Structure 1
Amino acid sequence: MIELEFTPADYRRIRFAFSPVAEAVTSLRALSAGRRTGVHGPWLTTVGARLDAVDMPLLTALVRPAGYVPDFLLPTPEGRTDDLDTGLDRIAGTDVDVVTHELAHLAQHEVAQRGPGVDQRAALMRDLLADPARAVERIVTELRRYWQAAIAPHWPRVHALLQADLAHRLDELAAGGVAGLFATLHPSVAMRGDLLTVVKYYDGRARLRERGLLLVPCAFVWPDVLVGTADPRPSLTYSPRGIGRLWESAPDVTETPLAGVVGRTRAAILALLELPMSTTQLAAQLALAAPTLNAHLKSLQGAGILTSRRDGRAVLYRRTTLGDHLVAGQDSSAPR
């Protein structure tokens, strides 16, 4: 178990962020673990065929199924979120001494180095450590290729899930304070006095020292929790609320009585909005021009079927209870 020790200033410096790079890095762990019957099973069954152009031996040597993940692979976002390029630039800018230290620690980490291929990974680590500056260039290049192949096709839905979690956690913080927030964050996490405890395979205590704590919802970290204590800001990466719905297919309502009433496009919009999405995300999913999509959204919102709220520069849409009932009603032909 690891314990994070809060000071009064740390409570005031709790913030949330999410990161495309964090999703890519943690998805490598899900890929290495290969739990095809778990939450990410549907993703695992399709992603392998798209990775031929990626140096997977390199990436899976850096992110093992369990154990230590080098901190420089999970840079801290400056704002609510970084885009992919910004996150990769942060990795590229890591001091070579830090890279050397963390790769050397990974090479000797007992838990991370379990499993077949030990000799091959050891040889690869020696190669990386011989030229850490070149190693970082290789890592950034391969992470970008991996993102495009494995994560980018699914990013609109993952992004919507993360945004929904942030909205929910901020509401919890406003309603129940820090105690209420951590009571439901993850089964492995608990607040005891000024100590935040996290069940891990190792024991330790870290003082936050007025640096605050960054809370990072991350779809691919499931079912684990990642704890970072390095400067500039400690972090806790956890599974977002609703992770079990991530890979569920939206119900096909395009050939249903609902589509006959509201039209196929609007029925498809309703089916997708089980999770809140912006117009950009919806347009990407439906291959619709923004003006056309906005016209449909305004009509559905005017009928009380959708609702919206602003999140930074984006406006997120989701179904109302009426919208939920309309979509759910397609699952049964029985009179209501």
Structure 2
Amino acid sequence: MIHLHFTATDLTRVRFAASPLTETVASLRTLAAGRRGAHLHRPWIDRFAERAGRLRQRDLELLRALVRPEGYLPDFLVPPPGRRSSTFADALAQVAEADPAVVARELAHLAEHRVAQQGPGQERRRALLQELARRPDAGIGPVSEAIEAYHRVAIAPDWPRIEALLNDDIAYRLDALADGGVDRMMSNLHPLVTFADQTLTIIKYYDGHADCGGRGLLLVPCVFAWPDVLVRTAQPEPPTVSYSPRGLGGLWEERRAQDDSPLVGVLGQTRAALLAQLDLPMSTSQAATQMALSAPTLSVHLQALRAAGLLTSRRAGRQVLYSRTELGDRLLSEAGRRPGA
């Protein structure tokens, strides 16, 4: 188990962030586990299998050596986001700026890690990691290129929906913090996580203690962390805990209004489809990407549905997020029960 010890100052410095890079790296672990070990993400795994031919095999081999099904995950691959919402490009720049000496040590540790190096191909992986560690840049260049190529194929097409789920979870946690403080916010973070006596305890395959030491704590919801919890304690950054967000079980479900649905006759095809899509809070740009429409066009539809009481909106940082109201849920549900819908 890992024990993260808080001071009073740390409790005032707990913050949240969503990270497309963390999702990208963690998804490699999901792929490594395979269909049998990752049934919750099977729809995504199947879609990735159809797109995998766009990637170079040498990039996949490199990434699979860096991210193993379990065990040690190099810290330089998952730098803590500086803001609540950051772009993939910003996060990848953090990887590119990592200290080669630190990266080389992490690669050497991974090459000899007992848990991470289980399974066939150990010698090939070890040789690849050691070769990277000997480079002047510790392999940061080819690693960054491989991650970027993989992200474009594996995560970018689904990022709007993933990001919507992450933002929804963060909003829920912040509401819990406002209602009951840190204790309530942490109370159902993850089955492997407990918080008591100013200590966050996380069940892992190894034992360890770390003092937050006034640095605070960064909480990063991550859909591909499931079913594990990812922990990063490298200084000088604050400790980072990546956990599965609420509602993960419905992430890959697709709810679409059928062409012959009674709802289409009332709202029109675009607005009916948009109402079905917004089971997760989304910004105009996120929903526009999902619907393959321009943001200005979609904004008109969002405002019409909101005026009808079918959507609600709230501000989250610089974004305005839209989601279905209870009335919208009922309307969609009733339309789905009708014959021919």
Question: Normalising by structure 2, what TM-score?
Answer: 0.95
Which residue in 2 is equivalent to 1:44? 45
- Cα distance, 1:313 vs structure 2: 1.7
Alignment of 1:32 onto 2:71:
no
8 Å CA contact 1:254, 1:267 repeated in 2 = no
Q: Alignment partner for residue 69 of structure 2, among 65, 83, 89?
A: 65
**Worse-matched range after superposition: 124-133 or 104-113:** 124-133
Structure 1 segment 1-336 matched on structure 2, within 5 A? 1-36=1-36, 38-52=39-53, 53-54=55-56, 55-133=59-137, 135-231=139-235, 232-333=237-338
| Cα separation, 2, equivalents of 1:20 and 1:147 | 9
Residues 185-225 of structure 1 show CA distances to partners (whole Å, capped at 9, x for unaligned) of 10111012121110111111111111100000011111110
Query: Identity over the aligned pairs, expressed in percent?
Result: 52
- Helix, strand or coil: the match of 1:315? strand
| Cα separation, 2, equivalents of 1:112 and 1:26 | 14
| Cα separation, 2, equivalents of 1:189 and 1:132 | 39
8 Å CA contact 2:29, 2:67 repeated in 1 = yes
8 Å CA contact 1:253, 1:271 repeated in 2 = no
| Cα separation, 2, equivalents of 1:244 and 1:186 | 14
- Cα distance, 1:261 vs structure 2: 0.7
Q: Which amino acid aligns with 2:182?
A: V
Residues 119-177 of structure 1 show CA distances to partners (whole Å, capped at 9, x for unaligned) of 11011112111105051000000000000010011011001111111111100111111
| Cα separation, 2, equivalents of 1:222 and 1:39 | 9
| Cα separation, 2, equivalents of 1:233 and 1:132 | 28
Which consecutive segments of 4 or more residues in structure 1 shift more than 4 A? none
| Cα separation, 2, equivalents of 1:163 and 1:132 | 39
8 Å CA contact 2:100, 2:138 repeated in 1 = no
8 Å CA contact 1:32, 1:60 repeated in 2 = yes
- Helix, strand or coil: the match of 2:245? coil
- Cα distance, 1:233 vs structure 2: 1.2
8 Å CA contact 1:226, 1:237 repeated in 2 = yes
Question: Normalising by structure 1, what TM-score?
Answer: 0.97
Residues 308-332 of structure 1 show CA distances to partners (whole Å, capped at 9, x for unaligned) of 0111221110000000011111331
- Helix, strand or coil: the match of 1:43? helix
Give the CA RMSD over aligned residues: 1.2
8 Å CA contact 2:112, 2:126 repeated in 1 = no
Q: Which runs of 5+ in 2 are unaligned?
A: none
- Cα distance, 1:295 vs structure 2: 1.5
| Cα separation, 1, equivalents of 2:129 and 2:185 | 40
- Cα distance, 1:254 vs structure 2: 3.4
- Cα distance, 1:299 vs structure 2: 1.2
8 Å CA contact 1:4, 1:205 repeated in 2 = yes
8 Å CA contact 2:210, 2:233 repeated in 1 = yes
**Worse-matched range after superposition: 290-299 or 261-270:** 290-299
Q: Which runs of 5+ in 1 are unaligned?
A: none
| Cα separation, 2, equivalents of 1:143 and 1:170 | 31
Residues 28-69 of structure 1 show CA distances to partners (whole Å, capped at 9, x for unaligned) of 000100135621011111212322323111001100000000
8 Å CA contact 1:225, 1:237 repeated in 2 = yes
